[in-house]
Homo-oligomer: A and B are copies of this chain.
Amino acid sequence: MSLKLNTIAFDADDTLWQNEQFFRWTEARFAELLSDHAETDHLTERLHEAEKRNLGHYGFGIKGFTLSMIETAIEVTDQKVPASVISEIIRAGQEMLSHPIELLPGVEETVGALAENHHILLITKGDLLDQERKLAQSGLGELFDGVEIVSDKKAPVYAEIFTRHKVAPEAAMMVGNSLKSDVIPVLEAGGWGVHVPHDLTWVFEHADPPVNHPRFLEIPSLGALPEAIDRLR
């Protein structure tokens, strides 16, 4: 096979650095704050429902998550939640927005090595300022030839990005932990999709893996990417 790969795009959250763990910790804290009013399981379920319901209004990110937590707290307590608990929820959201970045293993070396002979992009969704803050803090900024913070990751969004960066889809690869957002839409757009599973993946990002797709790869960790690409050439 002659591989014409010149562009490698990376997802950010839970591909380059930890993210979902902060949501899980905050969900646990949220459940504790409301433990007098509802069972943990029930609460998490109600919170996910609120997040889903509000996605069209808020999009992805911590600010919308915080607003959905507040809404859920009011709902599950029949409007009896004390304002002090709402204050704690706001504080928890702000702490998420200022948590220090924690790079995943092998990220710096792998992206650095691939940057030597590929055009390297970052394609991420979430709150604009929050994603910029994390990128700045990661110290990886210089490695990327382009940073795309998008409101959602669908096939036409990837197609538009590839066009804008003047790369043919078949010469572009997207690498990420979400089959739903990072892999499947890129395959649809004609590119390569590489799945790097993360232990924690948001319930909304679950999807079935493609079967026998010629441009789909799964690797155990980001460090395995250069070798996986070499095997394709």
Contact = CB atoms under 8 A, between A and B. Distances in A.
Contacts of A74: 83, 86-87, 90
A22 interface: no
Q: Is the interface of A mostly helix, strand, loop or mixed?
A: helix
A4 to B, nearest CB: 25
Contacts of A82: 79
Contacts of A64: 63
A18 interface: no
Nearest to A146: B164
Contact of A83 (B67, B80, B149): B80
B79 A81 contact: no
Contacts of A212: none
Interface in A44-69: 54, 57-59, 61, 63-64, 66-67
Interface of A: 54, 57-59, 61, 63-64, 66-67, 70-71, 73-74, 77, 79-84, 86-87, 90, 93-94, 97-98, 127-130, 132, 149-152
Q: Which 5 A-B pairs have the closest CB atoms?
A: A59-B129, A63-B63, A79-B83, A129-B151, A74-B83
